[in-house]
Amino acid sequence: MRLKGIKLIHRKNTADFAPVRLPLPQTVTIPMSMHIGKPCLPVVKPGESVKVGQLIGNADGFISAPIHSSVSGKVKKLEELTVSNGMKTTAVVIETDGLQETCESVKPPVVNDFESFIAAVKESGVVGLGGAGFPTFVKLGVKDLSKIEAIVINAAECEPYITSDTRTMLDRTDSISKGIDLLQKYLKAKRIIIGIENNKKSCIEKMSELARSKNGVEVKVLPSVYPQGGEKVLVFNTTGRLIPKGGLPLDVGAVVINCTTLAVIAEYIETGMPLIEKCVTVDGSAVSEPKNVIAPIGAPLESLFEFCGGFKSEPKKVLYGGPMMGIAVPSLDVPVLKMTNAALAFNEKDARPPKPSACINCGACVNACPLRLDPREISRALKLGDAEELKKQCADLCMECGCCAYVCPAKRHIVQNNKLAKARLNQYIREQKEKEDTK
């Protein structure tokens, strides 16, 4: 048995396009919040010179990740920036000098045990590069390593258009191999599963060859069913273990790590260069020349689209990420973030939202939901303001994958509705906790 999902048109137009490097932009804007958790505190001031790999944002809390300069140049200003989740954060704006001088602090870390390995992962600034943005050192910092039965490398890349992970598997195979060695050495991983959708035949060949050269490593070829890369879905479909409500992969003996995240960790431990650039898939119906582009973190999206020949038609919607779970951006000035794996621009036809009509209770949304939620009941409970029913319907489990909205014949805004339901339920839970604390 496998968890449900939906069939999509993949549109992996750039899968065979090796990444090309973006010319250095005049300025980069690097937000101090590019991860789940507490924003970083900037440690540079306007007028200061910085170099590539230099620390510019210090992690201010356990759930946080340090941030480094992607360029050499001079700090122009610190400004307030609205990030993709609508929150405001401080951003460091740097004028590039074109020299790309490497900071003297960039040198391979000394790693000789589990503790120093986790410390190195933290100093690398790596977060979940599949889009989640969770600080990786926290995920890998398992207190009891005996609980780990399998490490699942997420190479599914199930969203349409995006091929940046595909290029990691094809172009940075050696880095993934070294990353696996690190997991086996320091996390004592006895079983490593590389989960790849069956529409990536070249990647399957590459990763299968890699697996044959190592003990305890296997490739699990998965159906091309969205959202195959969702953590709960991937763990179930690779290990057969179902993560409980409110649980984590470790509760069923699993740790999940994205393939590009793993490659970056290996490269940092070998070179000492922290996470400062991303391979970004630039595509969509409004883009003239789709490409995979290696861009410094903080580069404006506009520079990526210009590098790809500009627009062949006026873009009506531009997204961070894929068309299913991507976030629309307010302008082309927004920067490439640590988690940015794609920048997609769509013309008016593709961007125009369909007009919703009344729910006909067909149940298509229920059948498509990979977590077997019932969006109809969630919608009813939200409309009635019944937080207890939202809790009963497990509204907080929704991962906002969009399967329900995709299959809905009435074109209802189900994902937005579920987001509101989750917010209402979270508010209710906080209120209940406050009442208990008062007692």
Is residue 46 in some structural domain? no
- Quick one: 377 and 295 in the same domain? no
- Quick one: 375 and 249 in the same domain? no
Per-residue pLDDT of the chain (439 residues; tens, 9 = 90+): 556 789 999 999 999 999 999 999 999 999 999 998 899 999 999 999 999 999 999 998 889 999 999 999 999 999 999 877 678 899 999 999 999 999 999 999 999 999 999 999 999 999 988 777 899 999 999 999 999 999 999 999 999 999 999 999 999 999 999 999 999 999 999 999 999 999 999 999 999 999 999 999 999 999 999 999 999 999 999 999 999 988 999 999 999 999 999 999 999 999 999 999 999 999 999 999 999 999 999 999 999 999 999 999 999 999 999 999 999 999 999 999 999 999 999 999 999 989 999 999 999 999 999 999 999 999 999 999 999 999 999 999 999 999 999 999 999 999 999 999 999 999 999 998 888 888 7
pLDDT of residue 245: 85
Put simply, whether the predicted model's pTM sits higher than 0.85 gets the answer yes
- Quick one: 137 and 247 in the same domain? yes
- Quick one: 407 and 429 in the same domain? yes
Q: Is 175 exposed, middle or buried (0-12, 13-18, 19+ CB in 10 A)?
A: buried
- What are the backbone angles phi and psi of residue 283, rounded to the nearest 5°? -160, -175
Is residue 420 in some structural domain? yes
Query: Could you say which of 296, 317, 350 is where a domain stops?
Result: 350
Tell me the residue type at 430: R
- Quick one: 283 and 370 in the same domain? no
Q: What is the CA radius of gyration of the chain?
A: 22
41, two tokens: 């505190």
- Quick one: 342 and 376 in the same domain? no
Please give the tally of structural domains in the chain: 2
Cα dist from 98 to 24, 30, 72, 73, 301, whole Å: 7, 17, 7, 8, 19
- Quick one: 267 and 392 in the same domain? no
Cα dist from 172 to 30, 71, 235, whole Å: 25, 22, 24
Query: Could you say which of 305, 323, 350 is where a domain stops?
Result: 350
Nearest Cα residue to 24 out of 220, 297, 243 = 297
- Quick one: 196 and 297 in the same domain? yes
Which CATH number is 335's domain given?
Answer: 3.40.50.11540
- Quick one: 345 and 376 in the same domain? no
- Quick one: 343 and 371 in the same domain? no
Inter-residue contact 5 to 226 (CB < 8 Å): yes
- Quick one: 338 and 206 in the same domain? yes
Q: Tell me if the bond preceding 356 is cis, omega within 30° of 0.
A: no
- Quick one: 294 and 368 in the same domain? no
Is residue 185 in some structural domain? yes
Is residue 83 in some structural domain? no
Give me the domain span that covers residue 266: 1-23+103-350
Question: What torsion do the CA atoms of 185, 177, 105, 76 make, to the nearest 10 degrees?
Answer: -130
- What are the backbone angles phi and psi of residue 41, rounded to the nearest 5°? -100, 125
Is residue 330 in some structural domain? yes
Three-state secondary structure call for residue 89: strand
Cα dist from 367 to 224, 362, 404, whole Å: 17, 10, 8
Query: Could you say which of 350, 380, 414 is where a domain stops?
Result: 350
